[in-house]
């Protein structure tokens, strides 16, 4: 029997799947088998898809940094993504079922093990897209994330989209076509102090020789047209900004309520009520559950030349006893209180949670958000904030009896009066119950509408030459 010194290991045998060391001793084959390399591969923890008209986002959450490459295939349009250091698992296979039929950009996705340690995703597309792939470090409750953002090649025209939806009319004499939207449940019409106008409906003929009376469209009604010599009031455009969305849930209540859901519901109610006014139209920075970067929210408002920017939130505090509604405007000199500074810093972290492609984000900040605010904008914002805060104080306790100021990035449009409304503290169990109540949401929307109307009564909007 050979001595230990005479035992020589055979050369290391490696493969992508296993790694083995083979020893020969007295004609006996000994195998030392190590764990498969696939056990060392990254693990997909969750997959999420956020379809929206702006863009569709696909998120792969994983336990380590992933490296991915991609390319486009034409005729038909496909996006191919190869992810290295990954083995196919049931969670990743579940991405197939996450694609919705109404997704604007993705028709379907195919997932497969392209080769050892490389998973391939093939997105069959509905139209040509410009993909952006980037990774995000752990933030908030999330682990590492690999992000695919699919943007349309042709940047959407916000005004054209609103015209198509019936949200936009360039004729001030025409009432807004709010009837194309389904109002929230149990939404009472605000009392305008005027008797209601009976709706015009088709008249059923009593005999074949009598033709039916055609339905009269709103813009054809005599009362919708200005009388001779009557002053034409131009349309007022209001940008409503429901905070957070998509990857960024915002603050969470003890009952599981999410800020992003609550503020979107309030914003939709508010939109419906504002569009009932004869000279107001509304643009939502998001109308569904998807993430919009802070800079893009401001940019959207500027693209439609908004007269006001109203950001809606329902934040949390470290103590559940914190309560009350608040209104904030921008400050160039620092926050008016420690709480205001803390809140602004927290809200300004939304891009870290929601996920922003840093390469594009820097350009947005440079062009829109940096040091562009003016004293006039802040003064007008204070007037608007006071008018809204006064009305909100009638339905809920105020956290502070005056408008506060802090460096909120989302309020930095240089030419638009901008306010941020904290509708209540979702971290307070009592106020969380209010925020999820239809009645309170309706009251909050009514109060904001009244505040906006009171602001414009004292501060009529100036004429704008770029819009007809």
Domains of the chain: 4-37 (no CATH), 41-152 (2.60.40.3500), 178-192+230-458 (3.40.630.40)
Find, among 262, 244, 249, 184, the residue nearest to 426 by Cα: 262
The widest CA-to-CA distance across the chain, in whole angstroms, is: 118
CB 154 within 8 A of CB 54: no
How many Å is the Cα radius of gyration of the chain?
A: 29
Rounded Cα gap, residues 29 and 13, in angstroms = 14
List, for the chain, all residue ranges whose pLDDT scores fall below the cut of 50. Answer: 1-39, 171-225, 364-372, 465-468
What integer pLDDT is reported at residue 167 of this predicted model?
A: 64
Task: Output the pLDDT for position 168.
Answer: 65
Q: What is the pLDDT of residue 215?
A: 39
> pLDDT value at position 326?
95
Measured torsion, CA atoms of residues 162, 163, 167, 169, in degrees rounded to the nearest 10? 130
Tokens of 252: 């969470």
Reported as type and span, the H/E element at residue 30 is strand 28-33
Sheet holding 418-422, edge to edge: 280-284, 236-242, 308-313, 418-422, 326-330, 404-406
Q: What are phi and psi of 166, to 5 degrees?
A: 85, 15
Interval 22-56: pLDDT, tens: 334 344 433 333 334 444 678 899 999 999 999 99
Contact present, 286 and 242 (Cβ < 8 Å): yes
Residue 194, pLDDT score:
39
First to last CA, the chain: 100
Bridge partners for 329 per DSSP: 405
Question: Global pTM?
Answer: 0.74
How far is Cα of residue 398 from the mean position of the Cα atoms in its chain? 27
Q: Which value, to the nearest 10 degrees, does the dihedral of the CA atoms of residues 265, 268, 269, 274 take?
A: 160
Residue 71: the pLDDT is 96
Residue 246 and residue 292: Cα distance in Å, rounded? 8
334-375 pLDDT, tens per residue? 777 778 787 878 787 887 888 887 766 555 444 444 444 578
CB distance 392 to 425 below 8 Å: no
């Amino acid at each position: 029997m050979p001595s230990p010194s005479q035992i020589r290991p055979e050369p290391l045998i490696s493969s992508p799947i296993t790694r083995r060391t083979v020893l020969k001793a007295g004609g006996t084959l000994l195998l030392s088998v190590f764990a498969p390399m696939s056990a060392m591969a990254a693990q997909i923890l969750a997959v999420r898809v956020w379809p929206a008209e702006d863009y569709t986002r696909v998120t792969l959450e994983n336990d380590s940094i992933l490296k991915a490459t991609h390319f486009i295939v034409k005729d038909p349009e496909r996006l191919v993504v190869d992810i290295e250091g990954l083995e196919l698992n049931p969670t990743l296979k579940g991405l197939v079922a996450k694609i919705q039929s109404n997704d604007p950009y993705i028709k379907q996705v195919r997932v497969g093990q392209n080769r050892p340690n490389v998973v391939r995703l093939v997105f069959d597309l509905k139209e040509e897209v410009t993909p952006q792939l980037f990774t995000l470090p752990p933030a908030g409750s999330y682990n590492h994330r690999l992000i695919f953002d699919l943007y349309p090649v042709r940047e959407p025209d916000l005004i054209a989209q609103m015209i198509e939806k019936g949200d936009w009319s360039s004729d001030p004499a025409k009432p807004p076509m709010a009837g194309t939207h389904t109002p929230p449940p149990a939404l009472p019409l605000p009392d305008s102090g005027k008797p209601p106008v009976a709706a015009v409906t088709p008249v059923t003929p009593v005999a074949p020789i009598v033709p039916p009376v055609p339905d009269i469209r709103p813009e054809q009604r005599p009362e919708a047209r200005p009388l001779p010599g009557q002053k034409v009031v131009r349309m007022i455009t209001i940008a409503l900004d429901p905070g957070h969305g998509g990857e960024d849930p915002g603050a969470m209540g003890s009952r599981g309520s999410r800020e992003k859901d609550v503020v979107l519901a309030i914003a939709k109610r508010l939109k419906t009520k504002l569009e009932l006014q004869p000279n107001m139209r509304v643009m939502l920075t998001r109308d569904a559950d998807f993430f919009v970067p802070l800079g893009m929210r401001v940019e959207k408002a500027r693209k439609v030349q908004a007269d006001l920017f109203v950001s809606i939130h329902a934040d949390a505090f470290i103590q559940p006893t914190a309560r009350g509604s608040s209104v904030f405007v921008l400050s160039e000199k620092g926050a008016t209180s420690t709480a205001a500074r803390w809140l602004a810093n927290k809200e300004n972290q939304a891009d870290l949670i929601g996920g922003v492609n840093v390469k594009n984000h820097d350009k947005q900040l440079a062009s829109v958000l940096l040091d562009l605010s003016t004293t006039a904008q802040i003064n007008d914002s204070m007037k608007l904030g006071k008018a809204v805060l006064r009305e909100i104080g009638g339905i809920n306790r105020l956290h502070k009896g005056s408008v506060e100021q802090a460096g909120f990035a989302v309020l930095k449009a240089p030419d638009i009066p901008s306010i941020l409304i904290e509708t209540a503290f979702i971290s307070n169990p009592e106020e969380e119950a209010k925020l999820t109540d239809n009645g309170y949401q309706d009251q909050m929307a009514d109060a904001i509408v009244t505040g906006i109307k009171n602001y414009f009564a004292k501060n009529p909007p100036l004429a704008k030459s770029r819009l007809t």
